[in-house]
Structure 1
Amino acid sequence: MSEDSGLDGLLEWLDSSPDLESLLDREKALVFRGFGATEERLAPVMDRLLPNRLAYVHGNSPRTKVGDNVYTSTEYPAEFTISMHNELSYAHQWPARLLFCCVTAAATGGATPVVDAALWLELLDDEVRERFADGVRYTQNLHGGLGLGKSWQETFETGDRDEVDAFLAASHAVSQWRRDGSLRIVQNRPATVHHPRTGAEVWFNQSDQWHPAALGDETAAALAKVMPQEDLPQSVAFADGSPIPAEHVLQVRDRALAAAVDVDWRQGDVLLIDNLLVAHGRRPFTGARRVLVAMSD
């Protein structure tokens, strides 16, 4: 939607739209354009669209916390595409909604592609859907302050091991503190889920992003060739531990990207998505780009 009445106009519209949940169930993603949202004035918009903002605990994407459970969108290098995914789909709990706000649009590129997650599931070959029917197994190796990828302190936003242990026990993950101060986490999760209100079955896992065959970063891909898979910062297998064929995850990645619709950012845009019904990614870009993200249950 687009208005010329400024941010107050958006707030007024949100206050007079009690059935926003049904609208989002139907449309799956909403773009609010022309209201001039800014980083300084984003809080009242989030208060209305995200009823209970969540911390990015157990998140694997590099990002910076800039406010009260508000973060930069991923800080993955600008030259790479980030493939389609649903936020925290590898975790025991995930956000129901995501809100993005474009503070600074890229000079070129930088769109956020979105794809219908039910369509994504339909686009996959029967063989692929059948192989993933029992779910996937994710393995993380989080260093204690020096190493590859994110540390466990960054990932869980705490330096308290007992707090991390309690979180992982509640999520039914298998974890192990190692002698070098790192933490290994193994967890089985579903490959698809059903939306709690619409009942739609959606593709809901990050097998392609965790699999060495789908890595877009040449350095990371080279690392995957010389390190045992179980020692990589993150890896994935079928739920029984058997390897996922490379051609499966490449199909998953490529068909979603091909079907995605780009949200080409303009400064001040706000994008709200249902995190189960819609997956998102990022196109490569040049120049400065600052997009903020927050999430809600």
Structure 2
Amino acid sequence: MPNTDVWTPLEIEPEGIGGPEELIERLVELGPERLSELLVQEKGLVFRGFDVSPERLDDVLGLLLPNRLAYVHGNSPRTKVGGNVYTSTEYPAEFTISMHNEMSYAHSWPTRLAFYCQVRPGGGGATPVVDAARWLRSLDDEVREAFADGVRYVQYLHDGFGLGKSWQDTFETTNREDVEVFLDGTGAEWEWKADGGIHVTMVRPATLKHPDTGAEVWFNQADQWHPAGLGDDTAAALAQILPADELPQNVTFADGSPIPEEYVTQIRDRGLQEAVDVDWEQGDVLLIDNVLLAHGRRPFTGDRRILVAMSD
């Protein structure tokens, strides 16, 4: 009998003339309400074979993402390339990026993401996606129970020179007052440091219930913010050069107690084990529900250029 427990995103391919024109026509015909219903139902949609060009990307994104958001308070290194369109990540090609829901550490997060393949990877470079409810179920009871009260995220954002992102890049401003107003609205605790950097602390839940389906999902980035998630050698090197309160990012349980390394590796590894790879062809577009699905990146060789945009 077939394994009905295997989930994959829905692939949508041309039926007629093909090209971005057909995709735009079909999205207009579908309409925003039905698109939202379909996305919640399928969790992820891959628009493949429409050969979307960079010149037509804005037209497609305008239909997929009704209200494109800036990547304010984002922690991943990205470059802005257009109207709230960014490179998906600039981490070195040889590294795997573990599974995560975009900005799950933040006070508010995008509800959907669109990825666009401008340049096909030379080899590898898939975007893995995982059902976040399945990820939650895959964890040991001990781990789920330990995170019941949430997590405490700690950021140190430098003033332009240091490891990680500066506060100027993170908040897309050079005005301290803009940063303070933004952070005050999120319930975060913050403190400017003598060296011009800022120390930010946020307590957030570890799981979330989807507003439409009610499904409870794993929704935090504890494994990405924990030094153990970087690997033993990198974590040890950082510990040698930086005190804990000057790490670009760190995480504890909500009460400030440390998260065991074995919890971190279990979370990271099981998310990747449960994931389904979306391999890229040039011009492909992937739309995901950012609560129902987490995403990552496989290592790659050669060129690869994936752009991302997000909306509420």
**Structure 1 pair 178/263, CA: closer, same or farther in 2 (3 Å)?**
same
One of 29, 32, 35 as aligned partner of 1:16: 29
Please tell me the root mean square deviation across aligned C-alpha atoms, in Å.
1.1
Would you say 1:184 and 2:184 are equivalent positions? no
For residues 111 and 225 of structure 1, the distance between their equivalents in structure 2, rounded to whole angstroms, comes to: 34
Which residue of structure 2 lines up, in the alignment, with residue 2 of structure 1? 13
- Unaligned stretches of 5+ residues in structure 2: 1-11
For residues 236 and 53 of structure 1, the distance between their equivalents in structure 2, rounded to whole angstroms, comes to: 29
For residues 114 and 157 of structure 2, the distance between their equivalents in structure 1, rounded to whole angstroms, comes to: 27
Spell out, residue by residue over 1:175-210, the C-alpha distance to the aligned partner (whole angstroms, 9 max, x if none): 000110000000000000111111111000000000
Would you say 1:113 and 2:128 are equivalent positions? yes
**How far apart are residue 218 of structure 1 and its match?**
4.4
Which residue of structure 1 lines up, in the alignment, with residue 172 of structure 2? 157
TM alignment of 1:252-263, pairs within 5 A: 252-263=267-278
Does structure 2 retain, via aligned residues, the 8 Å contact 1:81–1:216?
no
For residues 235 and 28 of structure 2, the distance between their equivalents in structure 1, rounded to whole angstroms, comes to: 46
Does structure 2 retain, via aligned residues, the 8 Å contact 1:80–1:217?
no
**Structure 1 pair 44/287, CA: closer, same or farther in 2 (3 Å)?**
same
- Unaligned stretches of 5+ residues in structure 1: none
Moved more, 158-167 or 215-224: 215-224
Equivalent position SS for 1:115? strand
| Structure 1 consecutive aligned stretches of length 4 or more whose deviation exceeds 3 Å | 216-221
For residues 114 and 84 of structure 1, the distance between their equivalents in structure 2, rounded to whole angstroms, comes to: 7
**How far apart are residue 230 of structure 1 and its match?**
2.2
For residues 210 and 100 of structure 1, the distance between their equivalents in structure 2, rounded to whole angstroms, comes to: 23
Equivalent position SS for 2:55? coil
One of 264, 273, 276 as aligned partner of 1:249: 264
**How far apart are residue 106 of structure 1 and its match?**
1.0
Equivalent position SS for 2:30? coil
Does structure 1 retain, via aligned residues, the 8 Å contact 2:103–2:110?
yes
Does structure 1 retain, via aligned residues, the 8 Å contact 2:228–2:265?
yes
Does structure 2 retain, via aligned residues, the 8 Å contact 1:215–1:221?
no
**Structure 1 pair 217/80, CA: closer, same or farther in 2 (3 Å)?**
farther
For residues 74 and 275 of structure 1, the distance between their equivalents in structure 2, rounded to whole angstroms, comes to: 16
Which residue of structure 1 lines up, in the alignment, with residue 296 of structure 2? 281
**Structure 1 pair 247/53, CA: closer, same or farther in 2 (3 Å)?**
same
One of 6, 23, 40 as aligned partner of 1:25: 40
Does structure 2 retain, via aligned residues, the 8 Å contact 1:31–1:272?
yes
Equivalent position SS for 1:16? helix
**Structure 1 pair 146/257, CA: closer, same or farther in 2 (3 Å)?**
same
How many residue pairs get matched?
297
TM alignment of 1:62-73, pairs within 5 A: 62-73=77-88
Matched-pair identity in %: 67
For residues 152 and 214 of structure 1, the distance between their equivalents in structure 2, rounded to whole angstroms, comes to: 23
Equivalent position SS for 1:103? strand
TM-score, normalised by the number of residues in structure 1: 0.98
**How far apart are residue 39 of structure 1 and its match?**
1.8
| Residue type at the aligned position of 2:220 | N
Moved more, 215-224 or 79-88: 215-224
For residues 57 and 78 of structure 2, the distance between their equivalents in structure 1, rounded to whole angstroms, comes to: 18
Would you say 1:131 and 2:146 are equivalent positions? yes
**How far apart are residue 228 of structure 1 and its match?**
2.6
Does structure 1 retain, via aligned residues, the 8 Å contact 2:13–2:47?
yes
Which residue of structure 2 lines up, in the alignment, with residue 146 of structure 1? 161
**How far apart are residue 217 of structure 1 and its match?**
8.7
Which residue of structure 1 lines up, in the alignment, with residue 7 of structure 2? none
**Structure 1 pair 63/220, CA: closer, same or farther in 2 (3 Å)?**
farther
Which residue of structure 1 lines up, in the alignment, with residue 63 of structure 2? 48
